Structure 1
Amino acid sequence: MRRFELVIFDWDGTLMDSVGRIVSSMQSAAIQVGRAVPEADAVRNIVGLSLQEALPRLFGPLDELGYQQLLQAYRQQYVHDDPTPTPLFTGVASTLHQLAERGHLLAVATGKARAGLDRVLAETGFSQLFHASRGADEARSKPDPMMLEQLLAQLNVPLEQAVMVGDSCYDMEMAANLGMARIGVDWGVHAAPILKRFTPLAVISSMDELLALV
């Protein structure tokens, strides 16, 4: 029996092992535009935020020109130049298909912009698997719950019938800010002790564990 009608997933660090490419792309972008190169841990810690929120956290206050230079350099690196692989985590495809077969609605709430999200949905063949999605340029950045509010409204699902699944404190805080149930995964950017600060239903160590919780 389904516990939740709607399961909402973060993307980077939750479904796709893309954090390594995010880190190396951001560092290469900094070099390209002549900025101080951020430490890997600093970049990891902004994964999940919109770039509009993330870039000033990494590089300090930016005027519009500086922001656009970093933004374009990062996107060029991530999409075209950086060779770091971005595979799906183990068990993601099979778990998503099992959830769909059980009748769950599936959605994505991500720090990616719409163009980037559409690209990875097409590349993974998941475009038809998710019933709705929101990118960072379509709502306020996590941990503001606007993405979740929009998804609930679009799919006509009551709050108590939805759960958020993510790897970062921003995912957990976003759900907590709305009073939505949440499940952390421990293979992404933030470790279990950080995720547990936001009282998730559980912090799981494999996608298989998710099936028993939702």
Structure 2
Amino acid sequence: MVDIGARRYWVFDLDGTLTRPVHDFAHIRAELELAPNCDILDSLALLPSPQREHKMALLDRLELFYAEKTQPAADVVGLLDALFQRNDRLGILTRNSQPVALQALEVIGARRYFLKEDVLGRDEARPKPDPHGIELLLERWSAKPEEAVMVGDFRYDLEAGRSCGTATVHVDHGTHQPWPELTDLRVTSLTQLLEIL
């Protein structure tokens, strides 16, 4: 059993983990003229230039629209504050752009817990499930994977953490399928994670 509470380096997914899900991915795919249920970033990466750049700019605008509407997950500030008071290091790894992530953190009242350079978006690191972003944060923090935790609501988050060798926490909000082979700790909310800590 992994002792999550003993770890001092925390990497969080953003959408659906620290925030309540507000993205309408069907609408985003329709606006981008992509196939239903496709991986948006993978699909855009396959497009030729300049079509790819045009659609990435549109994606940025759509994500910023949703960032303005984002709502905090229950107890997000309580959890982050508890970790911050312990002097733990906190980072974000998101498939959004960094400016969108910073705006969303501002909207939910959590911006103060993260250094800008510790908020990695798709332009700062290869997108999850690639563990590249976690590796970059751990290198910056001079931390080892066995000292760190990846917290997320989707399998890409858990796959990235597992590939890197960190502990993994699945925040499933009671709505997602479990991925026990990728998960060290499964919680239904950040409130439950805060209670465990």
**Shorter-chain TM band:** 0.7 to 0.9
Structure 2 portions without partners, runs of 5+ = none
| Residue pair 1:21, 1:86 contacting (<8 A) in 2 also | no
Structure 1, residues 37-94: CA drift from partner, whole Å, max 9, x if none?
x44xx16xx4xxxx542535xxxx42123322322223333324x6993211111122
Q: CA deviation at 1:172?
A: 0.6
Q: CA deviation at 1:122?
A: 2.9
Q: Is the CA contact (8 Å cut-off) linking 2:71 and 2:107 kept in structure 1?
A: no
C-alpha contact 1:183 1:203 (8 A) present in aligned 2: yes
1:178 to 159, 164, 167: 164
Q: CA deviation at 1:155?
A: 1.3
Which one-letter code corresponds to 1:156 in the other structure? Answer: S
Unpaired segments of 5 or more residues in structure 1? none
Q: Which residue in 2 is equivalent to 1:6?
A: 9
**Aligned runs of 1:81-160 on 2, under 5 Å?**
85-131=69-115, 132-160=118-146
Aligned counterpart for 1:201 among listed residues 180, 184, 187: 184
Q: What is the number of residues matched between the two proteins?
A: 192
1:53–1:141 contact (8 Å) kept in structure 2: no
Deviations 1:121-148 (A, max 9, x none): 3333323212422111111121111111
Q: Normalization by structure 1: what TM-score?
A: 0.77
CA gap 1:139/1:83 in 2 versus in 1, 3 angstroms: closer
Separation (CA, whole Å) in 2 of partners of 1:16 and 1:54: 25
**Aligned AA (2:155):** C
Give the distance between the partners of 1:157 and 1:74, measured in 2 at CA: 33
Helix, strand or coil at the partner of 2:169: strand
Q: 1:211 corresponds to which residue? A: 194
Percent identity over the alignment is 26
Report if aligned partners of 2:20, 2:72 keep a CA contact under 8 Å in 1.
yes
d(CA) in 2 for partners of 1:54 and 1:173? Answer: 20
